[in-house]
Structure 1
Amino acid sequence: MRKVLVTGGSGKLGRAVLRDLVEHGCDVLNIDQAPLNTSICKSVKVDLANFGEVAEAILGGIDERGGPFDAVVHLAAIPAPGLASNARTFANNVPGTYNVLEACRLAEIRNVVIASSETVLGLPFETPPPYAPVDEEYYPRPESAYSLGKLLDETMAAQFCRWDPLLRICALRFSNVMNPEDYAAFPKFDSDPVARKWNLWGYIDARDGAQAVRRAIQADFTGFEAFIIANADTVMSRSNMSLLAEVFPGVPTKGNVSTNGTLLSIEKAKRMLGYSPQYSWRNEVAAKS
């Protein structure tokens, strides 16, 4: 049984990650500032901004909640732009990631997954993307304090891997996280293609996000890699080519653009992690209609 420490497991994606890891035989400890009102796994209140508390948890020093841990999944953060002041978002998120990475280094944990974000790709695409589908091949274009922080998280992770050639850190650039109950609103998106242009009409089912985390833990490479994590389709019923022609005219396409396939390319995650989305809002809505 693999022993995994998760930060931020009390959040929307975090709860799905905890459930998925436990269902796949992992012994999981969640550390978070928010209470976890569930029996999914053990949970401890930890301030991620306090290095001493983070190090104590990751080094296995919390009474009755000890390690050693085989892997660490870092999800905890203010989860989006505009939820707090820019300075507070940055001051909360970036030092928290440093604290986790440094504590993992001290504990000699060489299997780390961190939550990055689709926002590093240039969201909300007020400046059109360089091409579509977007992928990991162009340099990040942060447009907010939140996404700037995520880019710095990725940069730190790459340098930690440079220091230790045995270390693996996967940065998962999650799309907009959805639960099944959110899908009832999706059919209305077709009436206004501009409303969801900010992330190229993408989303990630929390359960598929959890699958990506598990596969990143199981990956077989060393060093730092970033992966876009989205579902296989868009939130729209309209075809991608009609959407791009109306909302992003002149943006070149790259490779094959399917009718409703994601415009946030997940090809790298498929190739290197074995990631394969299992859920779609279309099936959920159809099942309830």
Structure 2
Amino acid sequence: MSAAADKPRVALTGAAGKLGQVVLRDLLEHGWSVLALDQVRPPTLHPGDDAQFLRIDLTDHGQVLEALAGRTDERPGPFDAVVHLAAVPAPGLLSNSATFRNNSAATWNVFDAARAAGIRNVVWASSETLLGLPFDTADPPYAPLDEEYRVRPESTYSLVKALEEEMAHHFCRWQPQLTMTGLRFSNVMHVEDYAQFPSFDADPHLRKWNLWGYVDARDGAQAVRLSLQRTGPGVEVFVVANADTVMSRSSAELMAEVYPGVEVRGELGEHETLLSIGKARRLLGYEPQHSWRDHV
């Protein structure tokens, strides 16, 4: 715990992003002091919060090292942890080379600067895309999908996520005291996004690209907070999705119609997620609290 305060202190990159805004509020509500790092001020950062904002270019190693070492004026450390959510958030938003250049540099800078600053707890946003998404390219190997098969990046964005997981493995090999947790978030949703969900039922192929998965941003924030409590050294990665699918139709029916040749492992609950959260449940205590069905 930071010597300067009773509260643990975390640096949060991507604090103004779709998930980052919710993670920021969740961490503040659960007793963390936060340094929010982004290009723009997070709209969920309010006067009186135990938080500060620093505008930063994460592709500049010097800026990242200065920030995580607590060497920026009026933005002191030390920090107990880093949560790294910042990235070009999906394929096709920038050119492939720009996506690779931004995301790979930003993550390496955060990992390396955290290590140099003596921060031993790093949580970062990996991606469901490592499971082989979109499944228009090739069918999933089985369902529900889990973390037990070799990653299958199908885009430059996803390739960088694969490299990030490999980097984390070696950072932990170099420094065995490190705890690094990669969260393979499914498609992040806010409550206002749920109005469109009933329309998916008309064509099950509309959302087959990620096996009809999603994660409520509030449950994504829960996974981040629980990951910060992980005490074992080394790297672990977790699929983070909601407990159900985006569909009203049953999961078994969806698999039989759209992926009849794919092995279904075990008995499926009526709307059970086909992106397995079993590992996150076992090792993090993650349990989704929200569903689109509560809002539509």
Provide the rounded CA distance (Å) in 2 between the counterparts of 1:136 and 1:196.
Answer: 21
| TM-score normalised by L of structure 1 | 0.97
2:11 to 5, 13, 28: 5
2:129 paired with 1:111 = no
Counterpart for residue 168 of structure 1: 179
Among the aligned pairs, what percent are the same residue? 61
Q: Distance in 2 between matches of 1:54 and 1:133?
A: 38
Secondary structure at 2:86 match in 1: coil
**Alignment partners' CA distance in 1, 2:145 and 2:251:** 13
What pairs with 1:78-117 in structure 2 (closer than 5 Å)? Answer: 78-117=88-127
Q: Which amino acid aligns with 2:229?
A: Q
Partner of 1:45: 55
Corresponding residue of 1:132? 143
Deviations, residues 213-267 of structure 1 (Å, cap 9, x unaligned): 0000001211001100000000001011111111111100112321101000000
Match of 2:72 in 1: 62
Q: CA-to-partner distance for each residue in 1:18-57, whole Å, 9 max, x for gaps?
A: 0000000100011111332331531110000000000000
Q: Does 1:25 align with 2:31?
A: yes
1:233 partnered with 2:244: yes
Separation in 2, partners of 1:169, 1:197: 31
SS in 2 for 1:91: helix
Q: Distance in 2 between matches of 1:90 and 1:256?
A: 39
Aligned pairs, number: 285
- Corresponding residue for residue 222 of structure 1: 233
What TM-score, normalized to structure 2?
Answer: 0.95
**Structure 2 residue 159 is the aligned partner of structure 1 residue 153:** no
Unaligned regions of 5+ residues in structure 2, if any?
A: 1-6
**Could you tell me how far apart the structure 1 residues matched to 2:226 and 2:29 are?**
14
Give per-residue Cα distances to partners, 1:126-160, cap 9 Å, x unaligned: 20000000000000000000000000011001100
Q: Partner residue of 1:275? A: 286
In structure 2, give the amino acid aligned to 1:210. A
Q: Secondary structure at the match of 1:138?
A: coil
Q: Which structure 1 residue ranges, 4+ long, deviate > 6 Å from structure 2?
A: none
Alignment map for 1:229-268 (pairs within 5 Å): 229-268=240-279
What's the C-alpha RMSD, in Å, of the aligned pairs? 0.8
Q: Which moved more, 1:237-246 or 1:72-81?
A: 237-246
Determine if the alignment matches structure 1 residue 212 to structure 2 residue 218: no
Q: What's the counterpart of residue 83 of structure 2?
A: 73
2:106 aligned partner, one-letter code: G
Unaligned runs of 5+ in 1: none
Letter in 1 for 2:69: L
Q: Secondary structure at 1:250's aligned position in 2?
A: coil
